[in-house]
Amino acid sequence: MRGPHNIIRLIRTGATLERTGAMNVVLDAFEAPRALRIVAHALGKPFQFLGYKGDPKMPPATRALTALGPAYIKFGQILSTRPDVVGEELAAQLRVLQDKLPPFSRGEAMAEVQKELGQPVESVFEEFSDPIAAASIAQVHKARLVSTGEYVAVKVLRPGIERAFKKDVDAYYLAARIIELFAPGARRLRPMDVIEHFDGVVRGELDLRLESAAASEYAANTKDDAGFWLPPIVWSLSARRVMTLSWADGIPLGDNAALDAAGHNRRDLAERVLRLFLLHALRDGFFHADMHQGNLKVAANGDIIAYDYGIMGHIDEYTRRVYAEILFGFIRRDYKRVAEVHFEAGYVPANQDVDEFARALRAVGEPIFGMDASHISMGRLLNYLFEVTERFGMETRTELILLQRTMVVVEGVARSLDPRMNIWEVARPVVEDYIKQSIGPRAALKDLGKTARVLARFGPRLPGLVENALIAQTQNDQPQKSAFWSTVLPAAVGAAAGAALVLLLNALS
């Protein structure tokens, strides 16, 4: 429940921030005004003795969030990908958060598995290891199936994690309200939206059935992508709090020494991980939104293996086309077209000047293109682009921010493998191919066919629509007559034309 009782949780949070030295770091990152600073220190300083000490070896913000527990660690991980919200310095601190926590016991994990699957663990697994990885929400065990002898990975949610997260998220909502009340200038950062986004991400991760479904959809989309593989889900051994998938060994994508020793081509891996991300985002509109090194490994045959599907990004087809045109315009350095796309999509208000906007975009793009290949950054470009569009009145687009933050992470992974990689040269063929497929005569015919099929579905309703309109017309009801000419008749004609077009398209195919 969101209410005043959450003040106690905020006091404990404030006390921990004060005790670890993180309070001023956080307030400075958010450029907090005086009123908010007074409130924050009032909730923390007098109660420092209630705060957790944390690990003094860690940076202040990381130390505080780690001490406060799993919900705060997860929140910090998400904020680390939002330098637009917390600033570059704090985002850099939060990136050092390790995705490792003290595990819960093997016995507790086995009890959770037995409860969820409804059968004794021994009847399903002849081996069940101690935890091999422990994160903020769940941990993973290696197990061996009784039925086939196959090794699998079993992901189990932490006991009581749902309740713990709910309590902390409730306090976050109260904190966001306080920020909006005492720091009107911070409203541009949309603190409530940030918390709602975090809440939605966590809710998705707390139901492993949703993660299993996401993994299944992702695997279906990418089954023909060369050099990429996902461990199959074992549906019969997966439930709300347990997810089982085939075991997949590999070298972590961040271990360059091991990759070199195994003879893998790091330049090829760098280019492939970037191409795959763009391909999934543009072609499928469904992409892995947490592609850091910890979730990517390289199999012995060179395939990239992706893990952890709790955070996936969705982009509708129209937004994909807009994004592709924006990227393509920058690649060609056609800033006028990039500006026009923003106006056509309604991202920038029509009362702004398109030529002035194009000049602002040129000021963003040209310095980046003038850099050495090793310094060209698509993530930096998108960050600058959002700064410019904000000045021209563009509202925050949540789906594009998720895409941007993932792009930054993927670019970082690629750069760690090959610091000299030219981002634009790798991206160009993927974007150009998508443009050819989605924008042009062939795409127009495809869109027309989809529209026709939608219109054709209204065919069975046409007689009733026409009959009702004619009855209304004979009653000399002028408004109804007007409605006939303005709505019913065009709909009828459109549906008839659509049905005819569907038949034509089917005949041609």
Show which residues are catalytic: 290
C-beta of residue 257 within 8 angstroms of C-beta of residue 250: no
Q: What is the DSSP letter of 421?
A: -
C-beta of residue 244 within 8 angstroms of C-beta of residue 144: no
Identify the H or E element spanning 406: helix 398-417
43, with CB counted inside 10 A (0-12, 13-18, 19+), is buried
Question: What is the separation, in whole angstroms, between the first and last Cα of the chain?
Answer: 58
* Closest by CA position to 11, among listed 36, 44, 37: 44
Residue whose entry in the numeric block shows the structure tokens 């470009």: 381
Q: Are strands 228-229 and 304-306 parallel, antiparallel or unpaired?
A: parallel
What tokens appear for 114 in the block?
């037995």
Sign of CA dihedral 221, 224, 227, 233: positive
* Closest by CA position to 16, among listed 57, 55, 77, 67: 67
* Angstrom distance (rounded) from CA 283 to CA 266: 25
C-beta of residue 211 within 8 angstroms of C-beta of residue 205: yes
What is the identity of the amino acid at 466?
V
3-state SS string for 34-81: HHHHHHHHHHHHHHHHHCCCCCCCCCHHHHHHHHHCHHHHHHHHHHCC
* Angstrom distance (rounded) from CA 236 to CA 146: 13
**Helices 398-417 and 317-331, packing angle to 10 deg:** 50
Cα 57-59-60 angle, rounded to 5 deg? 110
